Amino acid sequence: MVHARLLDLDPGRSGKAYADWLKDRGTGFIARIKTAALDPCRGYANAIRDELPEAITVLDAFHVVKLG
pLDDT digits (tens, 9 = 90+) for 5-50: 676 776 777 889 989 999 999 999 999 999 998 888 889 899 999 9
* pTM of the predicted protein model: 0.74
| Per-residue pLDDT at 23 | 93
The rounded distance, in Å, linking the Cα atoms of 34 and 18 is: 16
What does the pLDDT look like over 8-18, one tens digit per residue?
Answer: 776 777 889 98
Contacts of 17 (CB under 8 A, 6+ apart): 10, 11
